[in-house]
Amino acid sequence: MSNDPRPEIRTLIVDDERLARKNLRDLLSEHPYVHVVGEASDAATGREAIVRERPDLVFLDVRMPGGSGFDLLDRLEERPSVIFVTAYDEFAVNAFRSEAFDYLLKPVDPDHLSRSLERFLLSGRDRAAPSVIQQNDRVCLNAGKKVVFIELMKIAAVMSEKNYIRIFSVDGEYFVMRSPLKEWKERFPSDIFMALDRSLLINRHHIRLLRKKNRNGDIYVEGIEKPFHLGRIALQRFKTLMGVTEKQECKSLS
């Protein structure tokens, strides 16, 4: 029995490739709190194993004989938490529509797997609170017909627009999603992303310039052409969080 203080995760691996199951089992063996309770090589036996074992977490392939991983989930009355493991990134949209916990591409990256397991542990301790994305994590953005994976630290700002949010990257791109800003405030680390008002999150590491205009101000952020306008209260909050003095207001903050 493991002496690891973290709670045990009972897992099941469903994949038609024997070598893929072995590789994943080997990676999971590096985590003493993970207990693999079984394996299955197709959707039918995978469903039987899930019903029988009632695992906490299932590592599920997409393409398998006799039905896909999505077919398997559709035939379950009670769905377990699922991490899809596949060689095909085009299934990511459907995976997250199926409320998958995560989506790993083969060959599985050990660091990505570790972060995913840690997030699963955190979510298990308090299901009501979403897990905080860590600084070195990638963020999955379900932006319409495409799913984008972007490093957290490459996100420069998040701005809400009615029922949508616009996520800006330092590379000059932006992604539009139907999602409440509140959800991202809860998931993004507060020591990196500043909530300046009800509609704006800014990554403090990518702020280039603050330009004061009377009692308001404009913030220029790396990778974003136009500045973000701040009202009086938001400007004061920004200056407090950044420790900006009067002498710094028109100087570069990089």
130 within some domain: no
Tell me the pTM: 0.50
253 within some domain: no
Q: How far, in Å, CA of 48 to CA of 57, rounded?
A: 15
The CATH number for 37's domain is 3.40.50.2300
User: What pLDDT was estimated at residue 91?
Assistant: 54
Q: Are residues 46 and 107 in the same domain?
A: yes
54 within some domain: yes
Domain span at residue 232?
138-248
59 phi, psi to nearest 5 deg: -95, 115
Of 48-57, 78-87, 197-206, the one with minimum mean pLDDT is: 78-87
- Confidence check: pLDDT of 251 > 60: no
Angle at the Cα of 185 (from 179 to 191), degrees rounded to 5?
A: 150
Q: How far, in Å, CA of 194 to CA of 238, rounded?
A: 8
Residue pLDDT, tens place only, 61-118: 988 877 888 888 878 877 788 998 888 666 555 555 556 788 888 899 999 899 989 8
Distances (CA, A) of 193 to 132, 134, 141, 166, 216: 12, 12, 17, 15, 20
3 within some domain: no
Which residue in this structure is represented by tokens 């036996």? 45
CB distance 80 to 55 below 8 Å: yes
Angle formed by the axes of helices 18-28 and 110-125, to 10°?
60
User: What pLDDT was estimated at residue 58?
Assistant: 94
241 within some domain: yes
131 within some domain: no
How many domains does the chain fold into? 2
Q: Are residues 104 and 162 in the same domain?
A: no
50 phi, psi to nearest 5 deg: -65, -45
Domain boundary among 92, 125, 158: 125
Residue pLDDT, tens place only, 114-135: 998 988 887 764 444 456 788 8
